[in-house]
Amino acid sequence: MTHSAAKPGDSNDLKESAVAAKDAVVDLAAEAGRYARHRAEGARDSAAAMLDDVKSRAGEYNNSVVGFIRKNPYQSLAIAAGIGLVAGFMLRRR
């Protein structure tokens, strides 16, 4: 069996390749981190916009309900009593 002798440059080439591979992995990890942060910021901004929209709509519905109750207090009382009776019957059956 003949063993090929190691060339003096092989060790340096291997070290350079290992350093280049490590640098590539570090760059890839940094890019993945930047991408993840960008996506998280986008999701946070989107969620904040949706929350603002929901708050606005809830305020509008609240104003509508309060306005209806003020204009129709007896009808509102009758509706609330009817809903209470139905809920009571449903809970009693369980």
Percent pLDDT > 90 in the chain is: 76
Sign of the dihedral through C-alpha 79, 83, 86, 88: negative
> Which tens digits make up the pLDDT trace of 52-76?
999 999 999 999 999 999 999 999 9
Q: Say if residue 4's pLDDT is above 70.
A: no
Is residue 50 very low, low, confident or very high in pLDDT (cuts 50, 70, 90)? very high
Q: Stretch 1-16: mean pLDDT, rounded?
A: 68
Separation of alpha carbons 23 and 74, rounded Å:
76
pLDDT at 3: 53
